Structure 1
Amino acid sequence: MLSKIKGRGFIVRIDINSPLENNKPVMNERIEAHAETIKYLSKNGAKVVLISHQGRSGEKDFLEDMDHHAKLLTKVLNKKVEYVPDLYGDLAIQKIKSMKNGDILLLKNVRTLKEETLELSPREHANSEFVKKLSPLFDYFIQDAFSICHRSHASVVGFPYVMKSLKGKNLQKELKALKKLKNLKNVTCVLGGAKIEEIISFLDFLAKKGKKSIVLSGGMFSIYCLKASGFELGFKYDIKEEFLEKIKNYLKKLKIYVPQDFVFEDGSKGNIKDLPINKKICDIGKETIKIYKEILKRSKNILVKGPLGIYEDERFSYGTKEIFRFISNLNAFSIMCGGNTLDAIRRFKIPKSKFSHLSLGGGATIEYISGKKLPGLEVLKKAKDL
């Protein structure tokens, strides 16, 4: 733990990449999770500068400015967070240099910089104008966002290469919970959502380790599983052959359950015997929910990554809602991970305390549990805890 904080400057990498409504961020677990680190620094007289991202350039959730994020942080911290619409230009430098003890600034979306998202080495990123201009203005870099540690981005690996670095309180909590899960042999995994590449990475780990784990499929992952099992679907999904071939292989090696019934895009229902049907599958059906609950009831350790259907639409939220609520009432060790998973928990008003741990990382969580080296953690090997 750092002994002297008062008067010192800290640049803190957080992840407040948020769900948007009417093109504005809404309050979520990511914003709340970083409060402990930021409060601790500010109350002890530090000068705190926050850097984060919102979406990726060219995608629908990308926002150049993060002024509304600053307002949400202000609300959570009960202290003014000033937004600066700049990263390392004259305005940002002037604002940073004029900070008083306890002040908090949030800079512009780091992903407005093209060099931010280049997958370069820490040394190469440390040589960027972004890192070279900002690093001399601070005493310490703090990494508080486990969720972006699988990225070799400038704001993740560049600063710790040239600065004294610390692990923030949120990062410490994530690592403690995930280390426990990493060592468990029998885990029931509920895998859904649309990020198939991340799921494949995790399945590869399960297959190689020979872990006696059970996989319950949902979301787009279950579509791949059905197709890989030999079912003709009818509806034309965007399925990548390379992923399909890998999933075919995992179906032979692992115990993967596929949905037995569904809710279609027009609200109609059907079961696996009715396929092919030229309608999009949007949720799991009641028979599948019943089967999955029976398996979860016997599970001591549960990992959830991703929703089981299009949960944002009330017509297709039932499967995700039922399974998540059921898990929340079990005595099992449960880790819920990923932005959409956490957003669903909030939407369904399930008390967060009813789960063992809410992991803000999706891809980072899966890669860490899978035993992969995360660039953002590799550069923190000598870093102490805040």
Structure 2
Amino acid sequence: MTTFRTLDDLDVKSRRVLVRVDLNVPMQDGRVSDTTRLHAVSPTIRELSDKGAKVILLAHFGRPKGRPVAEMSLAPIAQALADVLGRPVQFAADDPGQLSDGQVVLMENTRFNEGEEQNDADYAKSLASFGDIYVNDAFSAAHRAHASTEAVARLLPAAAGRSMEKELSALSAALTDPARPLVCVVGGAKVSTKLELLGNLSKVADTIIIGGGMANTFLAAKGIPVGKSLCEHDMAATALDILKQADANDCRILLPIDAVVAKEFAAGAASRVVPVSDIAEDEMMLDVGPASVAEAAAVFDTAATLVWNGPFGAFEIAPFDAGTVAAAQHAAQLAKTGKLVAVAGGGDTVAALNHAGVADDFTYVSTAGGAFLEWLEGKALPGVEVLRAA
């Protein structure tokens, strides 16, 4: 990751280091209910503290719309972060004050100031006045040009934290300069939400495997009746254009060849496996069938890199999780044995891989959501671009 400055490029001893982190964690009864994001940023915070930096943490929480909202204060998160770090974390509402080397302080929600989401220069200057160096360790917020993610990085020496570095390295390996063949799994409900994604991937991927509800739209566009399946019939022309574009780019697109269908979407609903050409008018496709899974597995076997976004079916309810689980387990086994670089991301994707019990076996699983999707769409992320080495 030579194009981005990292902690290795910084001398932080006795320096005030502003660190943008993602602490937008789930809360229940005033307490953090999931510490995943706290653990993700802890390596950067510990390293800076151990090197004698005065660590000042910047983060947002919720959508307070530029004004203080008591229930969106970061104050309760300071102690949870301290528990994860194994060292004290002070909390400061508006000024970090004088800090000792190695001390860590968490500032109040940046979105309490209306200048944050406006990327306001004056607010950025006020943040910059607290530090000597800026580090961004919040890839999940890097697609936003906000004062604490973009403007302040132009006012101080800036670098990527360890979590950001890891994410950028994984995504660069997956898309920027991937080992080939490059295979992409794209699932989800609607084609309309993934037009830019499919357009960009068709330019760089060797094969795209389409699953989920969006596969129905492609099948219907090709004249295959899909019964009561979730389908954007008004996107038929767009789906055909995507197929043509992929063909022009020498990118193969695989659609399901068989399906698990049912007359209702409910746990334990009566279902059957049929070729996609045999879906009845009163049935809906809720998962790919075993032949489709086998075809995907065969493609994985010959791939060098896999990028996965979106499930193959309605994995939340059995038995319609079988396709996603089987395909994910096959990919995970290849990744675990070093035969495949497998990178995945997106909310439903992370949930699906956790459901399949394989998230830890993938090469990298991004929890960044919107930022991950915009990267896959080929968009420049403001919070990343500003970290590029000159």
- Would you call these one fold, judging by a TM-score over 0.5? yes
TM-score (norm 2): 0.77
Of 242, 250, 263, 2:242 maps to 250
Question: Structure 1: which amino acid aligns with 2:46?
Answer: K
Deviation (angstroms), 1:71? 5.0
* Distance in 1 of aligned mates of 2:23 and 2:172: 23
1:127 pairs with 2:121: yes
Q: Name which of 245, 260, 263 aligns with 1:262.
A: 260
Matched, 1:160 2:160: no
Q: Which residue of 1 aligns with 2:197?
A: 202
The structure-2 alpha-carbon separation of the partners of 1:318 and 1:68, relative to structure 1 and needing over 3 Å to count, comes to: farther
Give the structure 2 partner of residue 342 of structure 1. 350
Q: Deviation at 1:5? A: 2.2
Partner of residue 372 from structure 1, selected from 349, 374, 379? 379
CA distance in 2, matches of 1:31, 1:65: 16
Distance 1:333 1:382, change over 3 A: closer
Closer/same/farther in 2, CA of residues 207 and 314 from structure 1, 3 Å limit:
closer
Query: Partner letter of residue 186 of structure 2?
Result: L
Return the alpha-carbon distance in structure 2 between the equivalents of residues 306 and 173 of structure 1: 22
Coordinate RMSD, CA, aligned: 3.6
Q: Do 1:192 and 1:307's aligned partners in 2 also have CA atoms closer than 8 Å?
A: yes
**Which residue in 2 is equivalent to 1:148?**
141
Would the aligned equivalents of 2:217 and 2:231 in 1 still touch at CA under 8 Å?
A: no
Q: Which amino acid aligns with 1:306?
A: G
Q: Which of residues 324, 327, 334 in structure 1 aligns to 2:331?
A: 327
CA gap 1:234/1:359 in 2 versus in 1, 3 angstroms: same
**Cα deviation code 1:24-44 (max 9, x no counterpart):** 754365433222111101222
Whether the 8 Å CA contact 2:221–2:233 is kept in 1: the answer is: no
Please say if residues 209 and 253 of structure 2, whose CA atoms lie closer than 8 Å, have aligned partners that are also in contact. yes
1:335, distance to aligned residue in structure 2 (A): 1.3
Corresponding pairs, count = 361
Q: How far does residue 329 in structure 1 lie from its aligned partner after superposition?
A: 0.5
| CA apart distance, 1:172 | 1.9
Compared with structure 1, are the counterparts of its residues 261 and 82 closer, same or farther at alpha carbon in structure 2 (3 Å cutoff)? farther
Match in the other structure for 1:104: 104
Q: Deviations over 1:51-91 (max 9, x none)?
A: 33455579xxx98344565455334322344456xxxxxx3
Change (3 A) 1:307 1:165: same
Q: Say which of 2, 5, 10 aligns to 2:17.
A: 10
**Counterpart contact for 2:184–2:201, Cα < 8 Å:** no
- Structure 1 partner of 2:3: none
Contact 1:142–1:168 (8 Å) recurs in 2? yes
Counterpart of 1:33 (choices 40, 47, 60) is 40
Secondary structure, aligned partner of 1:97: coil
Indicate if the aligned counterparts of 1:198 and 1:363 stay in contact, CA closer than 8 A.
no
- Is 2:298 the counterpart of 1:305? no
One-letter amino acid matched to 2:196 = S
Q: How does 1:55-204 map to 2 (within 5 A)?
A: 64-66=72-74, 69-70=77-78, 72-82=80-90, 91-93=93-95, 96-111=96-111, 115-118=115-118, 125-129=119-123, 131-181=124-174, 182-184=176-178, 185-193=180-188, 199-204=194-199
Match of 1:87 in 2: none
Q: What is the CA deviation profile of residues 116-141 of structure 1, one whole-angstrom value per residue up to 9, with x for unaligned ones? A: 445xxxxxx24253x23322111121
Once residues 240 and 98 of structure 1 are traced to their aligned partners in structure 2, the CA distance between those partners, rounded to angstroms, is: 62
Between the aligned partners of 2:81 and 2:261, the Cα distance in structure 1 is: 38
| Distance in structure 1 (CA, Å) of the matches to 2:314 and 2:110 | 30
- The Cα shift of 1:156 comes to 1.6
For the 8 Å contact 2:185–2:308, the answer to whether it is kept is yes
CA spacing shift, 1:325–1:162, aligned 2, 3 Å = same
Change in 2 beyond 3 A, CA 1:344/1:19: farther
What secondary structure does 1:102 align onto?
coil
Q: What SS class does the counterpart of residue 17 from structure 2 fall into?
A: strand
CA change 1:287–1:16 in 2 (3 A) is farther
TM-score normalised by structure 1 residue count: 0.77
* Deviation readout 1:334-383 (Å, 9 max, x if unpaired): 1122344334434444362x322333444434544554332222222247
1:296 aligned residue = 300
Larger Rg: 2
- Counterpart of 1:42 in structure 2 is 49
* Amino acid paired to 1:10: V
Structure 1 residue 159 displacement after superposition:
0.9
- The answer as to whether partners of 1:219 and 1:310 remain within 8 angstroms in 2 is yes
Q: Where does the alignment leave 5 or more consecutive residues of structure 2 unmatched? A: 1-7
Which residue matches 1:121? none
